[in-house]
Amino acid sequence: DAEITQSPRHKITETGRQVTLACHQTWNHNNMFWYRQDLGHGLRLIHYSYGVQDTNKGEVSDGYSVSRSNTEDLPLTLESAASSQTSVYFCASSDRGISTDTQYFGPGTRLTVL
């Protein structure tokens, strides 16, 4: 079955370290998204991609970067981790359609920055 996976599921790192969170989908979806979810803020969009070599900044992109070299993967990199980036990170994907754009979410990565 097609799916979307994230790794690692849990990560503890130190302030200032570079961290990369992986997202892999096997639906062959064009669109991929990274969100963070924090208490009191809901889901906030970090970066998104509408296809290979396409990346765009979302609402809370400072301190994060992404690259899209193939359809299946959109890794999220924290250049220099900060305690404010402690959060649960969700990757999502969707197909570009005319009337529907259902996003399917991965299981999430819980990141703690000490």
Partner 1 sequence: QKEVEQNSGPLSVPEGAIASLNCTYSDRGSQSFFWYRQYSGKSPELIMSIYSNGDKEDGRFTAQLNKASQYVSLLIRDSQPSDSATYLCASQMNYGGSQGNLIFGKGTKLSVKP
What residues make contact with partner 1 under the rule CB under 8 A? 33, 40-45, 48, 58, 90, 94, 96-108
* Residue 68 beta carbon to partner 1: minimum distance, rounded to whole angstroms: 16
Residue showing tokens 């892999």: 24
Cα–Cα distance, 97 to 106 (Å, whole number): 20
* Residue 16 beta carbon to partner 1: minimum distance, rounded to whole angstroms: 28
Pair type for strands 109-113 and 10-13: parallel
CB-nearer residue toward partner 1: 80 or 88: 88
* Residue 73 beta carbon to partner 1: minimum distance, rounded to whole angstroms: 18
